[in-house]
Structure 1
Amino acid sequence: MMKKIKVTDLCSELEQKLVELHYSDDSMRRYRKVFREFTEYADGCDYSQSKGTDFLVWKFQQLGGFVTGGEHSKNGMYYFRAIRSLAEYYNFGILFRRNEFHGEIVWPEPFKEATEGFLRYEVEYGCSHWQYERCNAVIKDMILFLDSASVHDFNGITSGLISRFIATMVGLAPVTIAERISALRQYFKYAYLNEYTDKPIAAYLPHPPQRARTKLPTVWTEDQIESLINAVDTTTPVGKRDYAIILIGARLGFRIGDILNLTINDIDWDNKQISIVQGKTGETLTMPLPSDVGWAIIDYLKNGRPITDYQNIFVTHNAPYVGCPFKSTLRTNLSKALKRSGITIDKTKHYGWHSLRHSLATNLLQNNVEVSTISDILGHSDPQVAHHYLRVDMKGLSTCALEVEVMDYAKE
């Protein structure tokens, strides 16, 4: 049985939470408008997710649909965003922004013990940070979906509900769908084996086909990489941050998740080295710290980074400056830099942050670096994985040693 709370009280609680998180005046104005209209619509009733859905349908019919362009489209977006935020806050007691958790998640009581036990189990058996976050995200989405269907415990889950939930993943990459289904399968197995349910729910989940990588990765030439780096606007705090992140990706080939997890303690300034524990493999990777990367990080720390107690080097530039920048924001900023650089973009290909990693591998190969050495630089647990990045230039394979030049720079 879910907790009971009046719509007006839930809206007031969430509004206070948004204020504490320093949401902008414009955002607060839009949220308050939705909360006020939803409170009037509910007319003193208790909150339920179905009540929120009914309100959206009513508003949609009242307005004759939500527009998709211009200022009014933003108003429509806030109706969906505010009602979803209420559902998340009601179920979990915290806010989610693009899979970032703002606060300590409190799982609904019928799922609490099983979920917390499962996540502890995952950590004890070496689950990576990013796998842990993926499990959190997909379990959260599933519980929200179940709540919308008025199902509040394991025993109410049916094969039909599972099929409908899987259908909500349409549009995601096949590998992402497979990862989410795998996480749910482990979760439901844990719940069954530990007697939180007597239903073998994991058997309801489909087995998506395993697809081999067939697309060639997007790569940039060394000249294009330099053009991209030079196109970043380093006169602004955000530009200084993005410039340092791009340099790390281009020079060292780090994954974007590992870059965002960097802390000042990961850098040995005296020995000019940078060490990370890779989120994907859990393996430690230590690399020389190139001069331009070191100076870019120093410039951001001194002249661009907001004042915050957050331990990671790279932070969001929206108050209260807690948490890493959103990957979607960084992706947009990378696209802007690519346009300013004058590089011709093939819109049929993916050219996100991982393309920097692809490009480093391919350019090293073209400079006659051994595949095994490239695999070490990329931090692969299996050297064969490197071949995915190198298919664009298999003719260039040869044997030689990699010499990494790291210029001296002074610590300030």
Structure 2
Amino acid sequence: MSHEYGALVSQFRETLTQQRYNPVVVHNYCRNADYFLCYLVERKIALETVTPTEVSNYLRLAVRQFRKRHGRAPARYWVSIPRSGIHGLLRLALKRWPPEPATSDAGELLCREVCDHYQTWLREERGLAVASIDALMWEARYFSAWYLKRSDTASFMDSSIRDVDAYFEMRAPGLRRKSLKDVAERLRSLLRHLHRTGHILTDLAPHVIAPLLYAYEGIPSTLSSDQIAAVLKSAQQDQSPMGLRDYAILQLLSTYGLRVGEITRLRLDDIDWRAEALHIRHSKTGAHSLLPLMEPVGESLINYLRHGRPQTDAREIFIRSRAPYHRMSGIYSEVRRRMEAAGVKPSGKRGPHIFRHARAVSLLRAAVPRKVIGDVLGHRSTEATIPYLKLATEDLRAIALEIPGQEVRS
């Protein structure tokens, strides 16, 4: 081990152990991190000046050394082990890794400056949710890079309506009207910020015309009761830790129609086992609900907590299946994988939200009042429940009226 960096590797080992990494993984990561540090010492490269290029150079050397030792090339994914160990060490030592690529281009520097200021404003002044900031920042970076690349000067000062039109022409192909409306709203926000901060003289935001959408024009995707039963049955057969976790998530989705954020932020303290109640913080409205803990949901949660959940200090219920063990950031891929395994292929979107749509429809068909449905789903108003009415159109057949025809006289 490099004496110069021995303490750093020890700290790295302790950090990985605290994050509940498998001991074999800890050993491999630390060993490769130490090899990399020795590589830096031999070449007199300071750790603080390491770049992604130097990491790539080392990994190529590691592959050559593997080939020389074993007389063959390593397995396809072998290089991911030393790469992960090195990246983990660099994140610990440098706090920010990978670093932003250095640039002397005036346009790129301006793009970073504007976007960094915009992101700070969205977070600290407007207090938006992380997902909203991410969406706004993606559009901001994309537009800024696009505009400055086609502009002769490193400035937004000459921005005009023609530029906005050209941007939409470039973005429009392949997008639906709803997606184009989202683009327009995000672009308006950025243009208002550019005007407010003096980067453009004229406020172009009012000139961004979004497609006209009619209320409730889109029909949400949904699942039938048979499809939901098939997904639950398929997931229940997987008794691995990941299977127990996914089955509990599917029970919450199908029983209560919860949003993704409401599931991923669900904490151990939110379950009142004695009162058989579930405390839900609605991620979209900020409201709170107390729902009855249904028996299938409770059983699936107990099974996961006892036999599937990793040992961790995190208070969230649903945890990543691999270290570092912290709460799941999303459940889209897990839900989609379970539907595919069950052979369920709904038309339209196939994410977790279709379980929410299905729950709303089942309540509508059970003649539950819209106000109660809204309370269960965490809607701020009964108007938010209206789009789900279109998914129950087949029920209209039950109240069809005969159209009186002209009486024929003999």
- What is the TM-score with the length of structure 1 in the denominator? 0.62
1:32-181 equivalences in 2 (<5 Å): 89-90=100-101, 108-123=112-127, 127-128=128-129, 130-143=131-144, 145=146, 154-155=156-157, 159=161, 162-163=164-165, 165-166=167-168, 167-168=170-171, 170-181=173-184
**What is the aligned residue count?**
309
Secondary structure of the corresponding residue to residue 276 of structure 1: strand
Classify the secondary structure of the residue corresponding to 1:287.
strand
1:8 CA displacement: 8.8
Q: For residue 192 of structure 1, what is the amino acid of its counterpart? A: H
Among candidates 237, 247, 251, match of residue 251 of structure 2:
247
Q: 1:163 to 1:115 in 2, by over 3 A?
A: farther
1:386 is displaced (CA, Å) by: 1.3
Contact 2:278 2:290 in 1 (8 A): yes
Gaps of 5+ in 2: 1-48, 59-74, 84-96, 104-110, 397-410
Which of 74, 77, 80 is residue 26 of structure 1 equivalent to? 77
- Determine helix, strand or coil for the equivalent of 1:108: helix
Q: Which amino acid aligns with 2:77?
A: D
Contact map agreement 1:118 1:190 (CA 8 A) in 2: no
Amino acid at match of 2:282: Q
Distance 1:217 1:206, change over 3 A: closer
Asked if the contact 1:315/1:325 (under 8 Å) is kept, the reply is no
How do 1:183-194 and structure 2 match up within 5 A? 183-194=186-197
| Offset, 1:248 | 0.6
C-alpha deviation, 1:309, in angstroms:
4.8
**Cα pair distance change 1:25/1:273, threshold 3 Å:** farther
Partner of 1:238: 242
| In structure 2, distance between residues paired with 1:362 and 1:170 | 33
Give the counterpart of 1:333 among 334, 337, 354. 337
In the superposition, the TM-score normalised over structure 2's length comes to: 0.62
Kept after mapping to 1: 8 A contact 2:148/2:154: yes
Deviation at 1:170, TM superposition (A): 4.2
Paired position in structure 2 for 1:300: 304
- The 2-side partners of 1:381 and 1:325 are apart by 24
What is the Cα deviation at residue 144 of structure 1? 5.2
For residue 132 of structure 2, what is the amino acid of its counterpart?
Q
Percent identity over the alignment is 22
Unaligned residue ranges in structure 1 (runs of 5+): 1-6, 17-23, 33-84, 93-106, 398-412
State which drifts further: 286-295 or 210-219: 210-219
Task: Tell whether the 8 Å contact from 1:264 to 1:313 is kept in structure 2 after alignment.
Answer: yes
CA contact (8 A) 2:336 2:351 kept: no
2:296 & 2:211 partners in 1: Cα distance?
44
Give me the whole-angstrom Cα distance separating, in 1, the residues matched to 2:267 and 2:308.
16
> Which amino acid counterpart does residue 278 of structure 2 have in structure 1?
I
Give the CA RMSD over aligned residues: 4.0
Change in Cα spacing, 1:148 to 1:289, as seen in structure 2 (3 Å) is farther
For the residue of structure 2 that corresponds to 1:275, the secondary structure is: strand
Distance in 1 separating the partners of 2:144 and 2:303: 44
Distance 1:271 1:195, change over 3 A: farther
**CA shift digits 1:149-196 (9 cap, x unpaired):** 688664475555545554346434533432343133123213423435
Give the SS at the match of 2:278. strand
2:172–2:180 CA contact under 8 A, matched in 1: yes
**Kept in 2: contact 1:130–1:279 (CA 8 A):** no
The residue number in structure 2 matching 1:362 is: 361
Indicate whether 1:324 and 2:375 are aligned: no
**Is structure 2 residue 375 aligned with structure 1 residue 371?**
no
Matched with 2:229 is: 226
- The answer to whether the 8 Å contact 1:310/1:322 transfers is yes
Cα distance in 2 for partners of 1:113, 1:332 equals 37
Q: Separation in 2 of the partners of 1:244 and 1:149?
A: 51
Contact 1:258 1:279 in 2 (8 A): yes
| CA shift for structure 1 position 230 | 1.4
| Native 8 Å contact 1:368 1:396 kept in 2 | no
Higher Rg of the two aligned structures: 2
Q: Which amino acid aligns with 1:11?
A: T
Confirm or deny: 8 A CA contact 1:128 1:280 kept in the other structure: no
Q: Deviations over 1:212-265 (max 9, x none)?
A: 434543443434422321110431222122111111110011122322232223
> Do 2:365 and 2:392's aligned partners in 1 also have CA atoms closer than 8 Å?
yes
**Counterpart amino acid of residue 362 in structure 1:** V
Decide whether the 8 Å contact of 1:134 with 1:180 is kept in 2: no
From the superposition, tell whether residues 322 and 369 of structure 1 become closer, same or farther in structure 2 (CA, over 3 Å).
Answer: same
* CA distance, structure 1, for counterparts of residue 362 and residue 199 of structure 2: 52
Give 2:136's aligned amino acid. C
Matched residue, 1:98: none
1:287 aligns with one of 280, 285, 291: 291
Does the Cα contact within 8 Å between 2:310 and 2:325 map onto a contact in 1?
yes
Compared with structure 1, are the counterparts of its residues 351 and 117 closer, same or farther at alpha carbon in structure 2 (3 Å cutoff)? Answer: closer
Runs of 4+ in 1 over 6 A off after TM superposition: 13-16
